[in-house]
Amino acid sequence: MPPLNRRWRKRYKSSEKKPRYSVSRAIISTSFLEKVIPCCVGLLIVMSCESEIRDFQTVWLPFYGPYVRLVQITAGWHVTPTFYGGRIDTISGIFLRIRPALNASQQGMQMKKLLPILIGLSLTGFSAMSQAENLLQVYQQARISNPDLRKSAADRDAAFEKINEARSPLLPQLGLGADYTYTNGYRDSNGVNSNVTSGSLQLTQVLFDMSKWRALTLQEKTAGIQDVTYQTDQQTLILNTATAYFKVLAAIDTLSYTEAQKQAIYRQLDQTTQRFNVGLVAITDVQNARSQYDAVLANEVTARNDLDNAVEGLRQVTGNYYPELASLNVNGFKTNKPQAVNALLKEAENRNLSLLQARLSQDLAREQIRQAQDGHLPTLNLSASTGVSNTRYNGSKTNTPLAYNDSDNGQNQIGLNFSLPLYQGGAVTSQVKQAQYNFVGASEQLESAHRSVVQTVRSSFNNVNASISSINAYKQAVVSAQSSLDAMEAGYSVGTRTIVDVLDATTTLYNAKQQLSNARYNYLINELNIKSALGTLNEQDLVALNNTLGKPISTSADSVAPENPQQDATADGYGNTTAAVKPASARTTQSSGSNPFRQ
């Protein structure tokens, strides 16, 4: 970053030139207030540098555009922005060359106007930055930037535009023609040259051609299928966005519980080491605790990797990275049992988009049979034309008795063109049979889609009910595991339980917590799956889910589970000291046994 108070001793040559501001969408990738804050801070620094700026001063600001214009108007400064950075999408700020356009007293009055504005924008911006992205905001960004949905929208628009192309043969066809012919009579006996110029205007109108009408109908049905495909892709994006979002939250919870489990086992390892140093327990207890600690370290590596992959999966859907996301509000979490499965199946019969698309494809195949059969029908066209022809002669024999006279001719024509195909080598019959076979295939595809929808609805129904039961079961499992851990720790303190029992109870507790967390997210995803199977999934469902979210949480693995090299090094250091273990009698005679796990 350049210094804030570097003076430029040059004459101001462009004071009469109006600064040009260019705001690129590629640069504005974050919110308005997130960009205003550093801008305001930088301007406050400038204001505090000197009470009167008499020459150019170069200032680094991380944003530009309307905010620089605000400074120019309010403070009365001449501002010349100079871009800083590489490619246009990596520009992070600008240099501002500033000098006062007013005298010191006028500038002081303008400063008083500018200072409250900057402070207000800064305070408002800091409050806005504390809010994390929630599910609805993430989906809205994905809807704008997701390439798969945008491609589907383009395909739909192209299909509807093609309707105009299919309609065009049924509309009047108007054409203009012109011709020029020059004839040289050098080698013939006449020795006459001629120049013929002609022009014509032709009009053709289809009166009866069922194949063209059928082609229009087919394209309209094809566009309808493409529109349903686009709606399906919209629902798929909603489902993929929510699934990726909740996978990130689930990975965060898993890493959090793994970190908590690691700290709990480390405390038990610390306590066991103390007891070992005074001869109360055997070395096997320390080794068991260390073994559990190492296993949790391995699980932590896996959990960190899963979180990174989940964040990357969300980026693949939306195109953005999210340092913070709104987490699930566990206290306000509720479950609702779905309707009866028969009612769900009936609704899916009417509204499922995959089933609707299969029905439209079957209807399209039926229409293609009719189009093929239209090959036996006659066609009738109307044609009309008007033209003019101009002929001019010249040469050595133009004045002979043969009399080559110049002429100007014009004519108008109108007529009907009737065509009835009698036999085309069996092509029409073959096309009809092909269309019939395609209809059979489309019908079988409809049956397959129907079975798939029934299976999806029933599976989603079962998954929702299973998720509800799992949530209730894991809630009780957490309570039971906590009670078991308390009992094991109490028993271990009086010698009726071993450290293995305590470690197993600790692992059981945190496994139950992880399973409960996963069950909650599975329930939310299954709720969306069943609505997608019904064909009713829309943005309002995300609004309802968004209301179940709460405080922001970091998506960085280092923030969720900060690494503690000192703690790990301490554990590793103790592992090297257990190679040579003294007898218990020898250890108990030492009153100053050190604990390598004490920090």
Q: How sure is the predictor about 151, in pLDDT bands with cuts at 50, 70 and 90?
A: very high
For the chain, give the percent of residues with pLDDT over 70.
70
Considering only residues 579 and 448, tell me which one the structure prediction assigns the higher pLDDT: 448
Round to whole Å and give the CA distance between 414 and 542. Answer: 64
Contacts of 69 by beta carbon, 8 Å cutoff, 6+ apart = 19, 21, 79
pLDDT of 149 higher than 60: yes
387: helix, strand or coil = strand
Q: Given this model, what pLDDT does residue 33 score?
A: 46
- At 576 the pLDDT is 52
Least Cα distance to 386 among 544, 595, 185, 175 occurs for 175
Beta bridge partners of 80: 97
How many Å apart are CA 379 and CA 211, to the nearest integer? 9
What is 133-171+215-340+348-359+456-562's CATH number, 1.20.1600.10, 3.40.640.10, 3.30.310.50, 3.40.50.300?
Answer: 1.20.1600.10
Q: With 70 as the cut, is the pLDDT of residue 214 above it?
A: yes
Dihedral sign computed on CA atoms, order 213, 215, 221, 223? negative
Please state, in angstroms and rounded to a whole number, the distance separating the CA atoms of residues 595 and 277: 7
Domain boundaries, the chain: 6-130, 133-171+215-340+348-359+456-562
pLDDT digits (tens, 9 = 90+) for 341-382: 999 999 999 999 999 999 999 999 999 999 999 999 999 999
pLDDT at 460 over 50: yes
Task: Tell me phi and psi for residue 58, to 5 degrees.
Answer: -95, 130
Predicted pLDDT at 563: 81
**pTM of the complete model beyond 0.75:** no
The Cα 188–Cα 199 span in angstroms is 28
